[in-house]
């Protein structure tokens, strides 16, 4: 390769070269120079934290047609390709050397083979384009949570998205000097056709765990291209494993208790299980909706939101169910909409509560009511995975400690899946290990017919983090257990289930009831309520829930509803234990023995309760 300095001098203008060389980090310079030679852009624009750099990226996105201005000030629309609307799980792979084994459940490719393929795909891919070099920080800057990152991309849309979603990191990068400990990302949308990636068959997302690099080619969809999001979570999980902290797919929120008390919770929920709606519960404060880092600091678990914005699914966001987000999306301010319908320069999406226009432009091009694709299927006016990108600062319920460099003190962790027939709506684990193993490591979610074709299929999803694990499952469990032992008072762990159904198939809870479960959990953390011991955990007393339903929702809560919701379903709980134990026994050879011990203890409690009280036990009989 040509000398690093000569390559950079050839491609960068004076200001860009000055910005880059001001960061005295040889590894960074070599990285940028190498991919400048490989990708062969016409020029390189190095951006810093200044308003001028951010404004430049915004204007480029509009100038190049990657985004189009909408009627409301600050709002833009971006369209991905028709077949580039979601994360490509099949082509998202780890580059693994022969000595690294992550287990059979993790998608990987031989390191040498994958790297050669990626370098081949990237060769000359930015010819005729400008390369952007940007700097961000995962977590609050200048803190123990900070992870510096450098992004290379040829997409102004991707760069613009990252400026909204992440904290600026140029000045923080300057502070690390010649450190080699930072995350790197290389992305190219590839050849464009009508402003969207043309060669989708060559779409690849490869992750180099040894070098902390994410590669992404021939795609624009942000889940494949915004490297700092779920792709970086994979790098962070491995880094956390080495350094004895946790990188989690979790919301962070402050639940408000009596006397102005704020108690901080994190929560892990698989897709379509209530994660965002929990984080946005009325009356509470949001810290983050997606990814959190958890660290032990002086014996206390402290947590920080990795991000500064939301890349959220927009379907069903409406003024009744999501007033805070709705307000952010329908008032002036910076918003990127993606893959929704635009008619008269106004965006429309599924479930927004408005009349659908007869025609407009969407992810399929010109759209009209009744349009069908080549297979004869109806083309909806907005894609079901259409998104919005906004800064958390635009939300009226943002918690005041969202950017605290010390993080927030974490008092509770919620684990929730879509479960129609087994778990009660809310219960508190007996202790850290019991919660980690029977609630987090046993997390399942049922598929829905509307989105995945076959209803009721239970999918295992450990801590709601399975898709992003970059370490063996057994090691991940050991890390959790060891983390709890280092804490003076570990966060209380709660299992929640918003999807329990009755014999008639109808949900036993209303959507807003989760607000009550949160308030009960907040009280339970502080021992403000007495609890009933069940075989699977501590459950609420009827009188406490009756009071909370009145205080929180202003509605009555009947004893009959309480019994239906909090009946302990012995056969279903035993079946789940057997199902999860078999999965670990058969597929996770490095499972720690304590998991099976805790499962056996829970099975013994369930068997004893069945012997005394029958297969379906009313909570009123557990006094």
Residue 273 bears catalytic tag = yes
Tokens of 220: 């624009």
Which residue among 137, 273, 281, 301 is the active-site one? Answer: 273
Q: Are 65 and 58 in contact (CB under 8 A)?
A: no
Exposed / middle / buried, residue 482 (Cβ in 10 Å: 0-12, 13-18, 19+): exposed
The DSSP 8-state label assigned to residue 398 in this structure reads: B
Q: Could you give the CA distance from residue 412 to residue 106 in angstroms, rounded to a whole number?
A: 29
Count other C-beta atoms under 10 Å from residue 439's C-beta: 26
DSSP string over 167-208 = EE-HHHHHHTTT----EEEEEE--SEETTEES-GGG-EEEEE
Q: Which two tokens stand for residue 544?
A: 């406490």
- Least Cα distance to 514 among 248, 246, 251 occurs for 251
Helices (runs of H) and strands (runs of E) counted in the chain: 19, 35
Assigned token pair, 69 = 């201005």
CA-derived radius of gyration, the chain: 25
Tokens 């977590």: give the residue: 139
- Whole-number Å distance between alpha carbons of 187 and 468: 19
In whole angstroms, give the CA distance from residue 239 to residue 209: 9
Residue 368 makes CB contacts below 8 A (sequence gap 6+) with: 358, 359
- Cα 516–520–524 angle (5° rounding)? 170
CA distance 312 to 286: 14
> Active-site residues: which are they?
273
């Amino acid at each position: 390769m040509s000398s690093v300095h000569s390559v950079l001098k050839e491609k960068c203008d004076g200001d860009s070269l000055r910005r880059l060389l001001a960061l005295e980090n040889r590894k960074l310079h070599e990285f940028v120079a190498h991919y400048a030679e490989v990708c062969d852009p016409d020029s390189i624009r190095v951006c810093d934290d200044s308003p001028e750099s951010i404004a430049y990226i915004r204007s480029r996105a509009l100038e190049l047609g990657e985004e189009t201005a909408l009627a409301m000030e600050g709002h833009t629309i971006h369209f991905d390709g028709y077949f580039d609307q979601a994360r490509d799980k099949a082509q998202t792979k780890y580059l693994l050397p022969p000595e690294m084994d992550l287990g059979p459940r993790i998608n990987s490719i031989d390191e040498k083979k994958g790297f050669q393929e990626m370098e081949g795909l990237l060769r000359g891919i930015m010819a005729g384009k400008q390369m952007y070099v940007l700097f961000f920080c995962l977590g609050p800057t200048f803190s123990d949570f900070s992870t510096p990152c450098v992004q290379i991309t040829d997409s102004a849309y991707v760069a613009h998205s990252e400026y909204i979603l992440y904290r600026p990191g140029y000045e923080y990068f300057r502070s690390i000097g010649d450190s080699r400990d930072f995350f790197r990302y290389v992305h190219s949308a590839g050849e464009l056709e009508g402003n969207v990636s043309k060669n989708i068959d060559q779409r690849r997302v490869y992750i180099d765990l040894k070098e902390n690099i994410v590669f992404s080619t021939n795609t624009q969809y942000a889940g494949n291209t915004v490297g700092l999001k779920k792709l970086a979570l994979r790098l962070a999980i491995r880094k956390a494993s080495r350094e004895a902290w946790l990188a989690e797919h979790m919301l962070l929120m402050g639940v408000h208790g009596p006397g102005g008390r704020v108690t901080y919770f994190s929560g892990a929920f698989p897709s379509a299980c209530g994660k965002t709606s929990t984080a946005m519960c009325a009356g509470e404060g949001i810290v983050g909706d997606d990814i959190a880092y958890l660290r032990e600091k002086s014996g206390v678990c402290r947590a920080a939101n990795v991000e500064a914005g939301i890349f959220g699914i927009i379907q069903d966001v409406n003024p009744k169910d999501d007033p805070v987000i709705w307000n952010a999306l329908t008032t002036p301010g910076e918003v990127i909409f993606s893959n929704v319908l635009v008619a008269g320069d106004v965006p429309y999406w599924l479930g927004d509560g408005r009349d659908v226009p007869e025609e407009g432009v969407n992810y399929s091009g010109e759209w009209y009511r009744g349009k069908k694709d080549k297979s004869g299927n109806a083309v909806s006016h907005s894609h079901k995975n259409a998104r919005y990108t906004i800064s958390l600062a635009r939300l009226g319920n943002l918690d005041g400690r969202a950017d605290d460099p010390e993080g927030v003190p974490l008092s509770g962790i919620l684990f929730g899946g879509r479960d129609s027939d087994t778990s009660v709506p809310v219960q508190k684990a007996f202790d850290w290990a019991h919660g980690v193993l029977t609630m987090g490591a046993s997390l399942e979610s049922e598929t829905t017919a509307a989105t995945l074709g076959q209803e009721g299929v239970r999918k295992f999803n450990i801590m709601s983090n399975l898709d992003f694990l970059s370490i063996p499952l057994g090691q991940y469990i050991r890390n959790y257990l060891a983390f709890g032992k280092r804490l003076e008072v570990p966060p209380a762990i709660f299992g929640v289930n918003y999807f329990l159904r009755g014999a008639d198939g109808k949900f036993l809870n209303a959507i807003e009831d989760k607000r009550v479960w949160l308030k009960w959990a907040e009280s339970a953390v502080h021992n403000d309520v007495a609890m009933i011991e069940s075989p699977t955990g501590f459950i609420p007393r009827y009188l406490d829930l009756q009071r909370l339903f009145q205080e929180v929702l202003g509605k009555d809560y009947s004893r009959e509803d309480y019994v239906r919701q909090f009946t302990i379903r012995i056969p279903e709980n035993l079946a789940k234990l057997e199902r999860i134990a078999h999965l670990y026994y058969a597929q996770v050879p490095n499972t720690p023995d304590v998991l099976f011990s805790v499962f056996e203890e829970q099975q013994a409690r369930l068997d004893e309760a069945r012997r005394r009280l029958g297969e379906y036990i009313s909570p009123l009989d557990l006094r």
